[in-house]
Structure 1
Amino acid sequence: MTMTTDVTRGDVLRTLRDHVATHVALPGEPGYERCVPWNVAASVTPAAVVLATSPEDVAGTVRFAAAHGFTVTVQATGHGAVGVGPDAILVQTAAMKHCAVDVLSRTARVGAGARWQDVLDVATPHGLAPLCGSAPGVGVVGFLTGGGIGPLVRTVGLSSDHVRAFEVVTGEGRVLRATPDENADLFWGLRGGKATLGIVTAVEIDLLPIAEFYGGTVFFDGTDAGAVLHAWAAWCAGLPETVNTSLAIQQLPPLPGVPEALAGKMTVAVRYTALCDVAQAEQLLAPMRAAATPLLDTVGVMPYAAIGAVHGDPADPMPVTENHALLSQLTPDAVEALLAVAGPGSGSPQAIVELRMLGGALAREPRHRSAFCHRDAAFCVATIGLAVPEIVDMVAEHAAAVVAAVEPWSTGGQMPNFAPSYDPARAARVYSEDTLHWLAALADRYDPAGVLATGQVIRTRRG
């Protein structure tokens, strides 16, 4: 690119300020640093950053990009960031964090920049529960457009199944409302299709009357990993839908907030949530508490406002690399394969290797079908490693080895919100062939110029 072209490009981008009523930052200008995502390992260097405060800001940006040959991508927190290049304009929605709760209808209208913690803060004082994920710091919209696997998923189902409506900006720069009865094709595709069909500026969700739950985490020493994993796999087979559980082989660094008993060594965390009678919940957990001698047991009656404490996911930005697989079953041989590659003595560099039990309400089709696939998976395996330069390649290679180790039990599928990447083969793992076809066809309809064709979106392949 020549200097003349650079100057012309910059001059064109500066005129974006005439099309939106908010701050626009070009590289080197104040506000541009807002594009840095939560996952700081992702390279995010857009042509400009638009600090949107309204749907009109988003729509104006999209129309400008269409007229001048740019693409547009969106970011609220950047937990699922996969990188943004200099041909894209990034819409940063963090300022659009409004959240209004209607206690009588048990609903909330939530802006695109809100995090789940924002919704928890206003809903839980009324005894109402927003169906967030394990980390309350994650953005509401990104979580829901990816489906949403929360800590109560077996009991209440997919979080996006509880969405009532979206406000969305399409690739044509139109602001539309999507419900089961209005723009129903958009409503189908926005629940699971991520940003394929538009940039969501607000969402209306159900709030469930859940004031508290019985749950927390039982931690064991890594030397007991074999006994705990085998016990957990057998225990899962008899659990009712009122119970949700996951297991994590952890290697947490000695950082503030990490209990001394868990820091700097391998431990195993059995996470547990139950929506049933406390005595029954305690009885159901008893076999796992007896699987080995616990290092720490935090399980008890907890207010729903503390749902994030079950997993204890990190809140501060960090560089991470992830991988992921879905399993049809978790046999003793599958447990042994996982222990060999991620258990004691394996040399695993992963911070977390997680097994999450699925099924239950998740496995049933909701009243209004969506683009989310793979409801039939029984478990998922996820790896999370630190993507620091000295070890990033080793961590990524080992994560691939973990996924390969469980391949005999894998469905071949993945979920939209787990292990985001630019891998061109990923779409076929996340979606069925039929779903891919319909998402691509709808994208052609709502974004004919391909303005939103960047990042993890589905598009018709053209030669």
Structure 2
Amino acid sequence: MEPIGEPTGHPAVFDGPPAFDDLRRAVDGALFAPGQPGYTELSTPWNLAVRTSPAAVLEAATAQDVVEAVRFASANGLPVAVQATGHGIASDLDGALLIHTRNLAECTIDPRGWARTGAGVTWKTVLSACAGTGLAGLCGSAPGVSVAGYTSGGGIGPMARTFGAASDQVRAFDVVTGDGRLRHVTAETEPDLFWGLRGGKSSLGIITATEFNLLPLPTIYAGALFFGEDSAARATFAWSSWCHTLPPEASTSLALMQLPPTPGVPEALAGTFTAAVRYVYTGSPDDGARWLAPMRAAGVPLMDAVQTMPYSMIGMVHSDPEDALPASEASCLLADFGPEAAQTLLRAVGPGTNSPQLLVEIRQFGGALSEEPAVPSALCHRDAGFGLYSVGVAAPPELPAIAVHAAGLHASMGEWHFGANLPNFSASSGAAGFAASYTPEVLARLTRLAAHYDPDALFRLGQVPAR
């Protein structure tokens, strides 16, 4: 990577608008303009189908770099966006100053049961750091995403029914607000901002560090059952009834998949239609096996990968892809999912439908997630019963057809729609999707907070409506 700006104190010429020289001189990190190799790498999101065109990219080296960047953007009328792994970027970022936080890599595990991570740290790093300690952080199904981005969107992962949302475990944030201040925010110091940062995504500021509780959970009984095309429908119907019987110690999802024969895909699953039952049980393995028994009896699995495993291996439950891909994603919340909904889903994307979707997943919610935490947050729609998510992967010219198919799928499930979405699943929907993630009352409160903490509306891209 070739930075166009070098650390403060080193003479360099910024090959971009002259005004950016002031920012280059003020920061320790490197600044990149369009056309530079570093610019392309840092501005490319996880979804390769999304094209971004920021005015410049700052690879922040310190939290103070973020402060300087926000102050510079305010002085020059530039919108600001933030990226660590790029999973939440869905705007073209035209003319924005993009702050990349991957070098904010602090990761401290306190044996007393909490952690502090910089904005560039992924859950994969936390899982590795906690291995052997008996402690666990409430990560998502894809450990390759950043702690800060995931948690600021609420963070509803594969143990949400047991422990609630990741944002419920936050102790403090370090955040740079739109007024250019670096704040250490807790429920006691700034309760309104603490409320909004847990669920409000990046609408109120750029998180530079997160402190959160860890759970005493050295092992889990978890994994996935994979059913082939001949028993996928039977497994889907069985899951739609079985999931309603589960205790809060169990979290599950159902994925209808058509995985390509590519490296990393098990031979038994490659190039064929499968139904995967994902399952995490936090109690004893014997009890976990007893609760799972009805699904094991629903057919003859192609693979049975449910077993006792270290918590650090939780990413194997979903085995989400880590490499960047061109994708078309869609999601919504469902009020319920029973046999009639299962029948409708199978008609749209089941065996023999030639669905272009790589994966269609139904996640069960409820349990601890449906309970309001002791310290309230901006995360809404905790009473939704299920989530529907679809993703198709193809060359960019083919993605619009996949999106049209997904729209038809979601419309066919309209009878069970909850009428809303979740922040971490709304990136592809822009400001409208962001608004659908909140009740009118919560959105109004977030908008008021944004007006206070971001007076110049720097963080307006795809977030709280411009004021």
Q: TM-score range by the shorter chain?
A: over 0.9
Alpha-carbon distance, 1:423 to partner? 4.1
Is structure 2 residue 266 aligned with structure 1 residue 249?
A: no
Alpha-carbon distance, 1:225 to partner? 2.1
CA–CA separation in structure 2 for the residues paired with 1:420 and 1:342:
23
Partner of 1:99: 107
Alpha-carbon distance, 1:419 to partner? 4.0
Partner of 1:452: 459
Partner of 2:56: 48
Alpha-carbon distance, 1:249 to partner? 0.3
Match of 1:313 among 320, 325, 328: 320
CA–CA separation in structure 2 for the residues paired with 1:268 and 1:419:
25
Is structure 2 residue 307 aligned with structure 1 residue 304?
A: no
Match of 1:265 among 269, 272, 276: 272
Match of 2:148 among 141, 146, 152: 141
Is the contact made by 1:266 and 1:344 (CA closer than 8 Å) also made in structure 2? yes
Is structure 2 residue 62 aligned with structure 1 residue 62?
A: no
SS in 2 for 1:273: strand
Map 1:295-374 → 2, pairs under 5 A: 295-374=302-381
Map 1:389-428 → 2, pairs under 5 A: 389-428=396-435
Partner of 1:4: none
Partner of 1:384: 391
Is the contact made by 1:322 and 1:420 (CA closer than 8 Å) also made in structure 2? no
Match of 1:131 among 135, 138, 142: 138
CA–CA separation in structure 2 for the residues paired with 1:315 and 1:87:
28
Number of corresponding residues: 453
Alpha-carbon distance, 1:387 to partner? 4.4
The residue identity in structure 2 corresponding to 1:309 is M
Partner of 1:203: 210
CA–CA separation in structure 2 for the residues paired with 1:419 and 1:447:
22
The residue identity in structure 2 corresponding to 1:25 is F
Q: Which runs of 5+ in 2 are unaligned?
A: 1-13
Partner of 1:159: 166
CA–CA separation in structure 2 for the residues paired with 1:424 and 1:120:
33
CA-to-aligned-CA distance 1:302-345 (integer Å, 9 cap, x gap): 00010000000011111111111111111221111111111012
Partner of 1:3: none
Alpha-carbon distance, 1:363 to partner? 0.2
SS in 2 for 1:421: helix
Is the contact made by 2:107 and 2:117 (CA closer than 8 Å) also made in structure 1? yes
Partner of 2:226: 219
Is the contact made by 2:49 and 2:396 (CA closer than 8 Å) also made in structure 1? no
SS in 2 for 1:87: coil
Match of 2:284 among 249, 259, 277: 277
Is the contact made by 2:426 and 2:437 (CA closer than 8 Å) also made in structure 1? no
Is the contact made by 2:326 and 2:396 (CA closer than 8 Å) also made in structure 1? no
CA–CA separation in structure 1 for the residues paired with 2:178 and 2:238:
50
CA-to-aligned-CA distance 1:137-165 (integer Å, 9 cap, x gap): 11111100000011111011111100000
Q: Which runs of 5+ in 1 are unaligned?
A: 1-6
CA–CA separation in structure 2 for the residues paired with 1:42 and 1:101:
35
Is structure 2 residue 227 aligned with structure 1 residue 194?
A: no
Is structure 2 residue 178 aligned with structure 1 residue 171?
A: yes
CA–CA separation in structure 1 for the residues paired with 2:208 and 2:229:
44
Is the contact made by 1:135 and 1:313 (CA closer than 8 Å) also made in structure 2? yes
The residue identity in structure 1 corresponding to 2:424 is N
The residue identity in structure 2 corresponding to 1:457 is Q
Aligned CA-pair RMSD: 1.4
Partner of 2:31: 24
Fraction of identical pairs, as percent: 47
SS in 2 for 1:335: helix
CA–CA separation in structure 1 for the residues paired with 2:252 and 2:457:
41
Map 1:222-237 → 2, pairs under 5 A: 222-237=229-244
CA–CA separation in structure 2 for the residues paired with 1:400 and 1:276:
38
CA-to-aligned-CA distance 1:382-420 (integer Å, 9 cap, x gap): 001114224201110111111111111111110001141
Is the contact made by 1:97 and 1:110 (CA closer than 8 Å) also made in structure 2? yes
CA–CA separation in structure 1 for the residues paired with 2:311 and 2:15:
53
The residue identity in structure 1 corresponding to 2:238 is A
- Change in CA separation of 1:389 and 1:84 when aligned onto 2, cut-off 3 Å: closer
Is the contact made by 1:154 and 1:244 (CA closer than 8 Å) also made in structure 2? yes
SS in 2 for 1:125: coil
SS in 1 for 2:436: helix
- Change in CA separation of 1:318 and 1:250 when aligned onto 2, cut-off 3 Å: same
Alpha-carbon distance, 1:453 to partner? 1.5
The residue identity in structure 2 corresponding to 1:340 is R
Alpha-carbon distance, 1:8 to partner? 11
Deviation larger for 29-38 or 435-444 = 29-38
- Off by >3 Å, runs of 4+ in structure 1: none
CA–CA separation in structure 1 for the residues paired with 2:431 and 2:75:
28
Structure-2-length-normalised TM-score: 0.95
CA-to-aligned-CA distance 1:47-73 (integer Å, 9 cap, x gap): 111000111100100111111111111
Is the contact made by 1:322 and 1:419 (CA closer than 8 Å) also made in structure 2? no
CA–CA separation in structure 1 for the residues paired with 2:340 and 2:350:
14
CA–CA separation in structure 2 for the residues paired with 1:222 and 1:139:
35
Is structure 2 residue 87 aligned with structure 1 residue 87?
A: no
Is the contact made by 1:40 and 1:317 (CA closer than 8 Å) also made in structure 2? yes
Partner of 2:6: none
Is the contact made by 2:90 and 2:430 (CA closer than 8 Å) also made in structure 1? no
